[in-house]
Amino acid sequence: MRHIGHLQNQAQGRLFGDFLVAQGIRNEIEAEPDGSALVWIVEDDRIPEAQAWLEKFQADPGGVEFRDAATLAAKTRKAEAKEKAEYQRRVRSGKSLFVKFGGYGAGVLTCILIGICVVVAFYSKFGGNEDFVRQFFISDPGSADTGFLPEVFQHGEFWRLLTPVFLHFGVLHLVFNMMWLYQLGGMIEARQSSLRLLLLVVVTGIFSNLAQCLVAGPQFGGMSGVVYALAGYVWMQGKYDRASGLFLNEQSVTILLVWLVVCFTGVFGPVANYAHLGGLVSGMAIGRLLAYLAMRRPE
């Protein structure tokens, strides 16, 4: 939240605050001891727009665009209250069976996914048990069969399209991915549903695995492609469908995008970069599509 300026009196502050609400710009008006009002903007990306409106308001507080601010703000607040009520219906009621962290708690599916990753990591000796790991690759690099993904399309081993996400090749690799899976998966499962999370993991996991395989070959693993997909999904849902109850702050988005770019430089060695990119793109696409469909639903 950032301070962008002040107004001469609190009446102007209330009027301008209402106008900003009507424009979808969240704000706070702070009363000063001398009777003036400070204007604070909640979301950084709306600051330039708010500053432009403030300049117009300061030049002409009685301008036609500001006259119906209170009425329009009332309608906006009513719509937001309706969205909040819709969100409340989506939130799980009752106490979770699992310990809660970060405000969400890990649902059953999130815990199962983390458990599978941990068990596979230790049983595979973080990639050291080659015979075991080959069963999880999207395609066995030692196979004599020819063609694209012969195990999948010739032998019907369709699970290989997803199983690379459960492989991890180091403690930090596992811990980093599980932390993000816990936060993002727990948020989606708590605020939407376990089924939604399951479908996201399966669809984006397959998409990110295929993207990596097509570009760099079948020897890779990790949940990071799915993590990027979940991040992209939450990002788009929070941006375009507030009733979804999902939100990813700008700092987290920046960290994930910077990490994506840095890994492409090769400074950290071999990384499944195209799984990251494929996951992010697919997650964003699904999140944006579902937000669009939610906006078109009749009230």
CB-based contact 58:7 (threshold 8 Å): yes
pLDDT at 88 (0 to 100): 61
d(C-alpha 245, C-alpha 165), whole Å: 27
Q: Is the predicted pLDDT of residue 207 greater than 90, yes or no?
A: yes
User: For the domain that residue 191 is a member of, what is the CATH number?
Assistant: 1.20.1540.10
What pTM was computed for the model? Answer: 0.66
Confidence of residue 104 (pLDDT cuts 50, 70, 90): low
State mean pLDDT over 280-293: 95
pLDDT at 102 (0 to 100): 46
- Same domain (yes/no): 82, 126: no
Question: Is 101 a member of any domain?
Answer: no
- Same domain (yes/no): 119, 267: yes
Confidence of residue 91 (pLDDT cuts 50, 70, 90): low
Q: Percent of the chain having pLDDT more than 90?
A: 61
pLDDT at 90 (0 to 100): 55
Look-up of token digits 């941006």: 239
Confidence of residue 97 (pLDDT cuts 50, 70, 90): very low
pLDDT at 82 (0 to 100): 76
Q: 57, 90, 123: which is the final residue of a domain?
A: 90
CB-based contact 40:4 (threshold 8 Å): yes
- Same domain (yes/no): 187, 263: yes
The number of distinct structural domains making up the chain is 2
Least confident of 15-24, 50-59, 60-69, 188-197: 60-69
- Same domain (yes/no): 78, 224: no
Q: Which of 242, 244, 230 is nearest to 286 (CA)?
A: 230
Domain that holds residue 75: 2-90
Question: Is 102 a member of any domain?
Answer: no
* Tally of CB atoms within 10 A around 148: 10
- Same domain (yes/no): 231, 145: yes
- Same domain (yes/no): 154, 233: yes
CA distances to 7, 9, 58 from 33, in Å:
13, 10, 20
Strands (E), the chain: 2-7, 27-31, 37-41
HEC string of 48-74? Answer: HHHHHHHHHHHHCCCCHHHCCHHHHHH
- Same domain (yes/no): 273, 189: yes
Q: Which of 132, 139, 200, 143 is nearest to 168 (CA)?
A: 132
State mean pLDDT over 157-164: 95
**Mind listing the pLDDT tens digit for each residue in 37-83?**
999 999 989 999 999 999 999 999 888 888 888 888 888 888 878 77
7 by DSSP, 3-state: which?
strand
C-alpha neighbours within 13 Å on the C-beta side of residue 218: 21
Look-up of token digits 């694209």: 148
Q: 90, 124, 146: which is the final residue of a domain?
A: 90
User: For the domain that residue 52 is a member of, what is the CATH number?
Assistant: 3.30.70.2350
**Mind listing the pLDDT tens digit for each residue in 264-283?**
998 888 899 999 999 999 99
Question: Is 184 a member of any domain?
Answer: yes
pLDDT at 101 (0 to 100): 41
Return mean pLDDT, the chain. 88
pLDDT at 3 (0 to 100): 86
State mean pLDDT over 6-25: 91
- Same domain (yes/no): 24, 116: no
Question: Is 189 a member of any domain?
Answer: yes
- Same domain (yes/no): 178, 213: yes
Q: Is the predicted pLDDT of residue 169 greater than 50, yes or no?
A: yes
d(C-alpha 72, C-alpha 20), whole Å: 10
- How many residues does this entry show for the chain? 299
- Same domain (yes/no): 162, 259: yes
Question: Is 126 a member of any domain?
Answer: yes
Question: Is 103 a member of any domain?
Answer: no
53 Cβ contact partners less than 8 Å away, ≥ 6 residues apart: 16, 19, 20, 23, 25
pLDDT at 122 (0 to 100): 95
Question: Is 95 a member of any domain?
Answer: no
- Same domain (yes/no): 73, 160: no
Question: Is 76 a member of any domain?
Answer: yes
State mean pLDDT over 74-100: 62
- Same domain (yes/no): 84, 112: no
**Mind listing the pLDDT tens digit for each residue in 220-270?**
999 999 999 999 999 999 989 877 888 888 888 999 999 999 999 988 888
